[in-house]
Structures are given as C-alpha cells and as structure tokens.
C-alpha cells in the first residue's frame, strides 16, 4: 500500500496540464473503463472478470467472486498543435478508484470515485503576458448494485447511482510591469463552477459459454452548476445556479472468448450533450480489442501468467466535434498472490473538427492500474 | 477533487486561435487619455486628525510663512513639586528648558506664559491654537520675544523673569491651576529655509528642586504642536502640517470617463450596474500645483478610492446626542445604538465630540473610533472640534461606516454642526507610487517639478466599473523619510477639479468564459 501511495503522489507531482480543449463543456472527459480495458480500446466493459468494476456496467459484477480494489493513474504526454505552434506538455490523471464487493446470493455492491471531467489546462500568450489555466473538474462518487437473476441463467441487472460533485476554475492572469514601478502588477480573472447533482445508470448483462454482452443507459439526472466570477478590481453579481441534465449515454459492449485464454471485445456508446454544450452534436464512441489472458496458476512460469492486450478506439461528435482515434496496447502482471498491475499504453490523436481554428492533440498516455483482489468477506463455504 | 493535484511544468503557447473562438479572446492593450471631469471637490482633515494633545512628536519652527506653535502645559495644582504652597518664594521658576537635535537652531521666539484658573477649562482651546487673550479664565503673565541659544548638546534655556513666579504667588491657592507656555517662532521671511526641529524634554527649571515637567491633561500629555495653516486651508490646498492637515476628496464624473474610454477603446461587457469592459493596467492622473511650501523640499501624495453604498446627513445640536440613522445601518447592525454627541468645552470656541454607545462613550471592545495618522494607529473615543472656524473630522465607527462631523464656524446664532454618515461598499488601498529606488520621481512634487503623475489604477477601475454607485477619490498626503517633520502645503493649479487628465493603459476584457 505504501508503494501505491508513492505511485499516486509521484503521478500527481508531475504536470497535469492538458489541452486548451479542456475549456469546452465540463472539461476533458475520461471514460470509466477499468484497467485491463484501457489496453483493449477501452472496449472491455463486457468481458467477464472477477477483478474489475465498471460503474456504467454494474450488472457485470453480479457474477464477480472476488472483492477487488482498483486504483488507476495515468501520466502522459500531449503534443498540442494549432498549425502555427506546437507544444508538448506532460499530463497526469487519476481517473478512478473503485471497490467491488460480491455478496454471493445477495448480489454485488460496487463503489468508486470517477474523475470524469478535468479542466486541467495551461496556455500562455506568445508574449508571456497573459496566461490561461484550468484546474479541478467535476467528479463522481458512484454506488452500484447488481443482482444475478436466479431464474434466468447468466442474466443480471444492475443500477448505479452517480453523485456528481466537484469544482473547477478557469483562471486568466496578466502580469504587467511598468517601467517606472518597483512591483509588477498581477491581474486575475476567474470563473469557478461548482457541481452538485446526480443521475442513475441502469445496466443488464448476459454471459453464457464464450459470450458476454452488456448494455447500459443513463437516465436523465439533475446537476446544479453554480458559476461565480471574480477579477482583480472588479465586482460581480452573486453566483448563479443553473440546473442541467448531465450528458446521457447509451452503450453496449460484448466479449467473445476463444481458444481458452483469448478474447475479442467491442463496445459502442452514444452520448447526448444537449444542455451541456451549446450546439454540440451527439457523440459516438467505440472500440475493439483483444486479450490473451495469462495463466491463473500461481505456480506457472511468470511469463505465462502475463496477460497481453491490444485494441483501437475512436469517436466523433460532442463538445468541439472532436474526432478521436487511438491505438492501445498493454499487459497485465500478477502482483503477489492476488494483486495485478495492468499497464495500458494509449497513443492517439484528438482533432477538433468544428470548422473553427485547428487544434490537434497527439497523446501518449500510460494507464497504470493496480488491483488487489481477494475473497474477503466470504465464508469458507461460500468460497468453495 | 484529485484532478488539480499537479502543476504545469511548461508553458503552452499553442491553441490561442482555438481559445479565441471559444470566447477567450485576449484583446490588445490600448492607450487612451481621459479628461477628468469632476463632479465635486471637498476638503477634509486627514484620517486621524485633528489629533489630541500628546499625540506624535513635538516640533517647533517655521515652514515658509507658517509658524508652528508649541504649547506646553504645566500642572500647578500639586505645590509639593516646588516645596509647598509658598515654595516659589524661595525657589522661583528659573528657566524654560528644552532640547532640539540641532545645536545651531537659534530661532527668534515669542514666548507667552498663561495662567489658567482651577481646572483650566479654557486650556484645550490653547492646545488647539486659539489665541489666549480672548479666552475666559486665562491670564497672560509673560509675553516676550527671546533669541534662545543652545549649548553644544542642543539644550536651550530661556531665563524666566521673577514676575512669572510672582504672578503665580499672587494667585490664590484655590485658583492656581495650570501654567501654559506658548512658543511661536517668528517668521522672518516666507522665503527663508525651513527651520523645523524636534523639541524634546521641555521642562521648567527650579533652583535646588527637580525641574517641573509637562503635566497630563485628560490622560493626554499636555503638549501639542499647531501649525497655523490648519485653520484657514480650503479645498485648493493639500498638505500635512503640525497638528492637522488637509486631504481632498473628489468625485469624478464616471459617465464622462466611461464614455471617453469606450469611444477610444471599444469594448462592451457590462450590466446596468457594472461595467466590466476593461482591466486597467496603468492609470496616471496628472495634477498640477502652482505653489509648494514644504519641509523638506518635496511632497508626496497618493489616492484612496472608496465606493459609497449610502449616505445620510443631518444637523447636530451641541449637548444633544444624535443617533445613527437607520438609513445607513445594515440588517445585522439594526440593534446598534451608536450616536455622536458634541459638548461645549469653551463656549463658541471649542467642543468635545464623542462617539457613543447608548448614552456612554464607546469603550474598548465595543466600537471605537479607529484612526490612523502619520504617528501610527490609535483608538480614541473623542476629539476636539473648533467652533469658531471651519473644522472637520472623519473616522470609522462600525464596519465600513464612517461618520464625519463638520463645524461651519460661528456665525450669527452660534456654531453650526453637521454630521454625515457614509456606508462604504468597498475601500481600495492606494496604488504603489514606488520604483526600485523609492518614491517615483514623477509622483514627487517639488525639487523643480510642479506637476505629479499619480498611479490610480485601482481607483480608476472603480470609477469605470461602478455605474450605479458613487466613487470618491481621496488625495491624501503621505509621510516622507523624515518622520514627523514632513510638513508641507501645496496649492492646486486647478482647484475646481484637481486632476487635469488621466493617461491609461487598458486591456479590454471579453465576455466569454472569463
């Protein structure tokens, strides 16, 4: 656990600056994919597993048998290109922390933290006099419950409650130095958003033989967004609160296992952005992936116990009409008796395609996911 | 929650056009020159003035044509100090002694000694610079002109004639109250160099007995320096002189300034009450002066801006308590029983004004008048106000609430007093006028310059922004390097508006996410 803390702190210690695209909508969105899925084109939501929990597809976890705790961190590099200037900045994201608790015949409970949106960004005018930066973001506290339907073999249903909260801030700062003054002047201009609300996701999952299929759907929720402004030497009216429906997604995922340890996965999700970003079209995201799962026999050679994954993902629409295309690859490494370290490398590109000024991001992101799993909380009889 | 845990390690310059398209426009900076039309000009005493006796440093000398009067009070009601009720017969007062830091200081002084009967009811008026001849209960026992010289340590010793002791002895023991010493340095020429010096350790030497030291008057040390300029200054003067001074309060015409700026630098981000169109990076107000009398040779000033929420004023009758009007109280202060009361100290000449809670003077821990002057910060519950000439004091009483008491001087029917309550919405500290070497030369009056350019970006920002509220700018004198001796008077060359023009550098704000 000490190593885990060190890893989180080390990740946070590097830069979290992201693209200016973070100014759109509620910020840059990070999906809820679990660690292994990150390397499979973020398409592995339906692949049956004991070690992962996905807040969108809670129903999958009804068949989980191990209590699992997962932490993800994702350092990376983003090259931002606007056809005139190119800059590379390092980034850091802590997208998820989750705990999955199977309760046998009483179903499954999952809970987690999901840093869904991030404002983290950094921009400076070419004369270095005006800077724009973003901080914070809206995140979610998720609580899910899943239940395997007794009379329908392989079918489960789930529901997840998402508590939306968090704050973000966009700060513009100008530094001015008069030639005949001793001190420089710093003028600040900020917009702060505070988020508070909730929404629900319902999910269904079917697993039989080599096939896993899941579907999920977000219900219309209600999030209060309180906006306040501030600026040096300026006075603004009291903060205003508006009530909006958060982005609603409908998605499906499937997994097909073959040749024992191999699996192919795919997913598709469409998200409505009405009410979030004016003029943004519906967003479509999809991915495909492959996995060769390592041996579960702890006495096997270590290399045979490694899992290997690859995939591709893409999307278009949403805030900024961003077109995304990325390739993914990664591996899962056993840690001790029941832990797993999943490394997922994503290389891709986001291209703002709304007809306005060009903004292209080329990113290299390494998701580091540490999962600890055990049969904690289950009686010996149940374990058998 | 955890998203903001990192720091940027490099500057990103890419994406400016994209941000511009999202409303995050960074407009170019622009210069403009604004005519500063003024709605009103008002002369006020500086914060913390008039100060009571014993406050600050005792000085004596002349500044141009102004003589700085020094008043010392010696308590005669304790005859044991000179060996019993008749001790003066065997131990007469020998000399008035004091020290100045400069042994070469050799002014020509008019020395007056005044006996005050009993408790010395008229003595406060002497401390406030009133001539003793017309005051009841006072008797001048010595009026002479002397040319004191000092020893090598700067000790001056002015011999006192026996008539002073005789006059005291001639007074019945019950009438024997205070001995006031008035020192008026004589102005030789308005063009002569300043001759202001610290005056320290004043005492009256008595043969074979310890010297008589200055007394304590109403818990204050009975000494005060008064520069005669205090009484006559009007709104064309700013300055700091012994015992008081003058600041100038302006209300600029915000509508005209906004119109001029919008015309020169188009931008429009505003609501009916507020104009958010600009960040003011620099605003240099140009002020011209046609006369400066100072010690030392330069003068400094700066500008404080106050945004006014509400104001109310009414007449105040002597010996009556005037409560704070409900129009300036906030909801949380609605139960506060705060008022002011001025009582006569010397009829038609001097009043003692207090801030009251209920019927009692305010005490520590309640709401005290908090004042700040060049001698530091202090709390006081009362101050003295001249009734025979225009006089004025302003100080805070509750949070963001100021009260000003103004005497219009004695006319037919006695003194007229007015009280003005001002609820401030906000106060903006003065902008720095310093460069790396100290006070900017461009903001320093004197030494060959009869014009200053004061930085007023914070103040002008409010004038531009506040469309529905009144913004007042106080041009206040600033202490210099010679603490306590920076005494000066400057006459504006355009006293109807004070500020001739304002040179600004602004960056228009956009109306996007920021």
3 state DSSP class of B119: coil
Token duo for residue B343: 């009582």
Helix axes B254-264, B457-465, angle to 10 degrees: 100
pLDDT reported for residue A149: 95
- Per the model's pLDDT, the better-predicted residue between B470 and A380 turns out to be B470
Place of tokens 């004369």: A127
**Which pLDDT band, with edges at 50, 70 and 90, does B31 fall under?**
very high
Q: What's the rounded mean pLDDT across residues B56-61?
A: 84
Whether residue B141 sits in one domain with residue B281: no
- Least confident span in A167-171, B18-22, B311-315, B355-359: B355-359
Nearest-by-Cβ selection for B22 from A23, A86, A133: A23
pLDDT reported for residue B483: 53
Domain boundaries, position B343: 310-425
Please give, rounded to a whole number of angstroms, the shortest distance from the CA of A53 to a CA of chain B: 20
Domain count, chain A: 1
Please give, rounded to a whole number of angstroms, the shortest distance from the CA of B142 to a CA of chain A: 55
- Least confident span in A215-219, B71-75, B120-124, B180-184: B120-124
pLDDT reported for residue B2: 45
Nearest-by-Cβ selection for B5 from A16, A23, A130: A16
The answer to whether the CB atoms of B432 and A118 lie below 8 A apart is no
Longest dimension (CA), chain B: 97
Spatial separation of the C-alpha atoms in residues B360 and A336, rounded to whole Å? 79
Report the percentage of chain A scoring pLDDT > 70: 93
Cβ-Cβ contacts under 8 Å, A113 against chain B = 1-2
Cβ-Cβ contacts under 8 Å, A88 against chain B = 10
* Chain A: residue whose CA lies nearest to B442: A180
- Per the model's pLDDT, the better-predicted residue between A113 and B193 turns out to be A113
Q: Final residue of a domain: which of B425, B448, B468? A: B425
Q: For residue B337, is it within any domain?
A: yes
* Residue B230 pLDDT exceeds 70: no
Token duo for residue B466: 């506040």
Whether residue B209 sits in one domain with residue B95: yes
- Per the model's pLDDT, the better-predicted residue between B346 and B207 turns out to be B346
Cβ-Cβ contacts under 8 Å, A319 against chain B = none
pLDDT reported for residue B74: 93
Taking only the tens place, the pLDDT of each residue in B127-144 is: 999 999 889 889 999 999
Q: For residue B334, is it within any domain?
A: yes
The answer to whether the CB atoms of A80 and B15 lie below 8 A apart is yes
Spatial separation of the C-alpha atoms in residues B167 and B114, rounded to whole Å? 10
**Which pLDDT band, with edges at 50, 70 and 90, does A5 fall under?**
very low
Nearest-by-Cβ selection for B12 from A80, A137, A233: A80
Whether residue B209 sits in one domain with residue B73: yes
Cβ-Cβ contacts under 8 Å, B10 against chain A = 15, 17, 87-90, 122
Cβ-Cβ contacts under 8 Å, B27 against chain A = none
Q: What's the rounded mean pLDDT across residues A355-380?
A: 85
Q: Final residue of a domain: which of B397, B425, B453? A: B425
Q: What's the rounded mean pLDDT across residues B172-190?
A: 85
Burial A147-159 (b: 16+ CB within 10 A, else e): bbeeeeebbbbbb
Q: What's the rounded mean pLDDT across residues B345-352?
A: 90
Whether residue B214 sits in one domain with residue B346: no
Whether residue B406 sits in one domain with residue B373: yes
The answer to whether the CB atoms of B26 and A130 lie below 8 A apart is yes
Q: Roughly how many angstroms between the first and final C-alpha of chain B, as a whole number? A: 22
Spatial separation of the C-alpha atoms in residues B126 and A226, rounded to whole Å? 63
Cross-strand bridge partners of residue A328:
A311, A346
Whether residue B131 sits in one domain with residue B64: yes
**Which pLDDT band, with edges at 50, 70 and 90, does B368 fall under?**
very low
Q: For residue B357, is it within any domain?
A: yes
pLDDT reported for residue A379: 53
Q: Final residue of a domain: which of B156, B186, B221? A: B221
List, as ranges, residues 15-54 from B with C-beta within 8 Å of A. Answer: 15-22, 24, 26
Spatial separation of the C-alpha atoms in residues A48 and A211, rounded to whole Å? 9
How far from B72 is each of A178, A249, B18, B98, B182, CA to CA, in Å? 49, 87, 74, 11, 7
The answer to whether the CB atoms of B11 and A128 lie below 8 A apart is yes
The answer to whether the CB atoms of B14 and A24 lie below 8 A apart is no
Nearest-by-Cβ selection for B13 from A16, A87, A94: A87
Place of tokens 């999901």: A114
pLDDT reported for residue B296: 73
Ramachandran quadrant class, A298 (left: phi over 0; alpha: psi -120 to 50; beta: rest): alpha
CB pairs A-B closer than 8 Å: 190
* Residue A218 pLDDT exceeds 90: yes
Looking at every residue in chain A, the average pLDDT score rounds to: 90
Whether residue B293 sits in one domain with residue B210: no
pLDDT reported for residue A1: 43
* Residue B235 pLDDT exceeds 70: yes
Token duo for residue A29: 């969105």
Closest to A250 in 3D by CA, of A277, A214, A289, A276: A214
Taking only the tens place, the pLDDT of each residue in B262-302 is: 999 999 899 999 999 999 999 999 999 988 888 777 889 99
- Per the model's pLDDT, the better-predicted residue between B262 and A18 turns out to be B262
Please give, rounded to a whole number of angstroms, the shortest distance from the CA of B438 to a CA of chain A: 8
Q: For residue B8, is it within any domain?
A: no
- Per the model's pLDDT, the better-predicted residue between B125 and B485 turns out to be B125
Residues A345, A351, A352, A353: is their CA dihedral positive or negative? Answer: negative
Mutate to test the interface with B, among A14, A23, A30, A321 (most CBs of B within 10 A): A23
Closest to A64 in 3D by CA, of A179, A151, A147, A171: A147
Cβ-Cβ contacts under 8 Å, B452 against chain A = none
Looking at every residue in chain B, the average pLDDT score rounds to: 85
pLDDT reported for residue B360: 55
Mutate to test the interface with A, among B14, B27, B463, B509 (most CBs of A within 10 A): B14
Q: What is the ipTM of this complex?
A: 0.88
Residues B40, B46, B48, B53: is their CA dihedral positive or negative? Answer: negative
The answer to whether the CB atoms of A80 and B4 lie below 8 A apart is no
**Which pLDDT band, with edges at 50, 70 and 90, does A13 fall under?**
very low
Whether residue B447 sits in one domain with residue B317: no
Place of tokens 């401030």: B424
Residue B7 contacts A, CB cutoff 8 Å: yes
Mutate to test the interface with A, among B18, B21, B269, B433 (most CBs of A within 10 A): B18
The C-alpha R_g of chain B, in whole angstroms, comes to: 27
Mutate to test the interface with B, among A75, A185, A362 (most CBs of B within 10 A): A185
Nearest-by-Cβ selection for A191 from B465, B507, B514: B514
Whether residue B151 sits in one domain with residue B74: yes
pLDDT reported for residue B91: 84
Burial A52-73 (b: 16+ CB within 10 A, else e): bbbbbbbbbbbbbebbbbbbbb
pLDDT reported for residue B333: 75
* Residue B327 pLDDT exceeds 90: no
pLDDT reported for residue B228: 76
Taking only the tens place, the pLDDT of each residue in A136-187 is: 999 999 999 999 999 999 999 999 999 999 999 999 999 999 999 999 999 9
Q: What's the rounded mean pLDDT across residues B390-395?
A: 86
User: Measured in whole angstroms, how far is the alpha carbon of residue B130 from the centre of its chain?
Assistant: 19
Whether residue B358 sits in one domain with residue B299: no
Taking only the tens place, the pLDDT of each residue in B79-111 is: 777 777 677 888 889 999 999 877 788 788 999
Taking only the tens place, the pLDDT of each residue in A97-131 is: 999 999 988 999 999 999 999 998 989 988 878 99
The answer to whether the CB atoms of B3 and A139 lie below 8 A apart is yes
Whether residue B381 sits in one domain with residue B433: no
Cβ-Cβ contacts under 8 Å, B428 against chain A = 233
Residue B77 contacts A, CB cutoff 8 Å: no
Domain count, chain B: 3
Report the percentage of chain B scoring pLDDT > 90: 41
Q: What's the rounded mean pLDDT across residues A340-352?
A: 96
Cβ-Cβ contacts under 8 Å, A166 against chain B = 1, 3
Residues B149, B152, B156, B158: is their CA dihedral positive or negative? Answer: negative
Break chain A down into helix, strand, coil percent, rounded to 5: 10, 60, 30
- Least confident span in A44-48, A256-260, B51-55: B51-55
Q: For residue B184, is it within any domain?
A: yes
Q: What's the rounded mean pLDDT across residues A85-100?
A: 90
CATH number at residue B484: 2.60.120
Q: What is the DSSP string of A107-122?
A: -EEEEEEE--EE--EE
Sequence-ordered strand ranges (E) for B36-137: 38-44, 59-63, 66-75, 93-100, 109-117
Q: What's the rounded mean pLDDT across residues B20-46?
A: 90
The answer to whether the CB atoms of A231 and B276 lie below 8 A apart is yes
Domain boundaries, position A224: 2-383
**Which pLDDT band, with edges at 50, 70 and 90, does B55 fall under?**
confident
Q: For residue B193, is it within any domain?
A: yes
Whether residue B474 sits in one domain with residue B385: no
pLDDT reported for residue B1: 43
Closest to A44 in 3D by CA, of A204, A264, A233, A210: A264
- Least confident span in A6-10, A181-185, B503-507: A6-10
């Amino acid at each position: 656990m000490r190593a885990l803390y060190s890893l989180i702190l080390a990740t946070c210690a590097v830069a979290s600056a992201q693209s200016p695209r973070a100014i759109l909508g509620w910020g840059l969105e990070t999906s809820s994919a679990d660690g292994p899925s990150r390397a499979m084109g973020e398409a592995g939501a339906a692949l049956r597993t004991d070690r992962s929990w996905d807040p969108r597809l809670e129903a999958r976890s009804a068949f989980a048998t191990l209590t699992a705790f997962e932490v993800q961190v994702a350092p990376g590099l983003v090259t931002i290109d606007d056809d005139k200037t190119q800059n590379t900045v390092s980034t850091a994201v802590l997208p998820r922390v989750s705990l999955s608790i199977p309760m046998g015949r009483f179903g499954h409970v999952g809970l987690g933290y999901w840093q869904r949106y991030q404002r983290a960004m950094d921009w400076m005018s070419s004369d270095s006099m005006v800077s724009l930066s973003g901080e914070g973001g809206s995140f979610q506290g998720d609580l899910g419950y899943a239940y395997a339907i007794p009379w329908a073999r392989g079918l489960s249903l789930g529901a997840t409650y998402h508590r939306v909260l968090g704050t973000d801030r966009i700060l513009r700062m100008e530094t001015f130095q008069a030639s005949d003054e001793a001190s420089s002047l710093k003028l600040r201009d900020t917009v702060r958003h505070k988020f508070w609300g909730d929404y629900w996701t319902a999910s269904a999952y079917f697993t039989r033989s080599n096939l896993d299929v899941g579907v999920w759907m977000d219900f219309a929720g209600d999030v209060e967004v309180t906006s306040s402004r501030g600026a040096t030497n300026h006075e603004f009216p009291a903060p205003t609160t508006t009530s909006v429906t958060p982005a609603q997604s409908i998605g499906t995922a499937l997994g097909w296992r073959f040749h024992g340890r191999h699996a192919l996965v795919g997913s598709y999700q469409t998200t409505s952005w009405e009410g979030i970003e004016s003029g943004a079209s519906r967003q479509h995201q999809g991915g495909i992936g492959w996995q060769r799962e390592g041996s579960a026999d702890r006495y096997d050679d270590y290399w045979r116990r490694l899992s290997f994954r690859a995939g591709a993902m893409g999307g278009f629409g949403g805030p900024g009409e961003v077109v995304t295309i990325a390739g993914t690859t990664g591996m899962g490494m056993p840690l001790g008796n029941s832990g797993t370290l999943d490394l997922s490398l994503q290389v891709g590109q986001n291209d703002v395609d709304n007809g306005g000024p060009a903004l292209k991001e080329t990113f290299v992101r390494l998701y580091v996911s540490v999962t600890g799993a055990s049969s904690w909380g289950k009686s010996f009889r149940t374990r058998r | 929650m955890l998203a903001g845990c990192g720091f940027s390690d490099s500057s990103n310059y890419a994406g400016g056009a994209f941000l511009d398209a999202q409303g995050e426009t960074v407009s170019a900076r622009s210069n403009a020159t604004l005519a500063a039309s003024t709605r009103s000009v008002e002369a006020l005493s500086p914060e913390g003035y008039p100060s009571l006796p014993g406050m600050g440093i005792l000085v004596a000398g002349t500044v141009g044509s102004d003589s700085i009067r020094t008043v010392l009070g010696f308590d005669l009601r304790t005859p044991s100090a000179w060996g019993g009720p008749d001790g003066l017969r065997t131990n007469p007062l020998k000399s008035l002694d004091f020290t100045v830091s400069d042994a070469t200081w050799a002014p020509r002084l008019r020395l007056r000694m005044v006996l005050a009967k009993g408790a010395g009811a008229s003595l406060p008026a002497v401390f406030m610079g009133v001539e003793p001849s017309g005051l009841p209960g006072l008797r001048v026992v010595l009026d002479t002109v002397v040319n004191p010289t000092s020893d090598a340590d700067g000790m001056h010793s002015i011999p006192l004639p026996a008539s002073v002791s005789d006059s005291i002895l001639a007074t019945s023991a019950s009438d024997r109250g205070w001995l006031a010493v008035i020192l008026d340095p004589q102005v030789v020429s308005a063009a002569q160099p300043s001759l202001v010096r610290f005056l320290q350790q004043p005492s009256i030497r008595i043969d074979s007995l310890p010297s008589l030291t200055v007394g304590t008057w109403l818990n204050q040390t009975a000494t005060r320096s008064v520069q005669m300029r205090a009484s006559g200054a009007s709104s064309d003067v700013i300055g700091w002189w012994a015992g008081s001074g003058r600041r100038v309060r302006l209300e600029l015409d915000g509508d005209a300034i906004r119109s001029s700026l919008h015309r020169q630098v188009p931008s429009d981000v505003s609501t009916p009450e507020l104009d958010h169109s600009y960040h003011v990076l620099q605003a240099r107000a140009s002020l011209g002066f046609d006369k400066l009398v100072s010690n030392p040779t330069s003068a400094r000033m700066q500008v404080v801006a106050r945004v006014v929420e509400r104001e109310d004023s009414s007449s105040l009758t002597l010996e009556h308590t005037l409560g704070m009007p409900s129009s300036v109280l906030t909801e949380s202060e609605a139960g506060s029983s705060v008022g002011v009361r001025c009582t006569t100290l010397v009829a038609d000449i001097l009043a003692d004004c207090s801030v009251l809670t209920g019927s009692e003077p305010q005490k520590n821990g309640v709401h005290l008048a908090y004042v700040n002057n060049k001698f530091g910060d202090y709390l006081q519950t009362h101050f003295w106000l001249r009734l025979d000439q225009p006089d004025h004091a302003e100080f805070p009483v509750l949070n963001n609430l100021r009260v000003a008491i103004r005497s219009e001087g004695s006319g037919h029917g006695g003194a007229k007093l007015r009280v003005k309550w001002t609820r401030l919405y906000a106060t903006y500290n003065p902008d720095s006028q310093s460069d790396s070497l100290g006070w900017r030369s461009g903001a320093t009056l004197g030494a060959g310059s009869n014009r200053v350019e004061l930085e007023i970006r914070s103040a002008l920002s409010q004038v531009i922004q506040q469309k529905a509220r009144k913004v007042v700018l106080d041009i206040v004198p600033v202490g210099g390097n010679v603490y306590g001796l920076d005494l000066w008077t400057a006459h504006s060359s355009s006293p109807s508006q004070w500020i001739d023009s304002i040179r600004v550098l602004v960056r228009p704000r956009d109306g996007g996410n920021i």
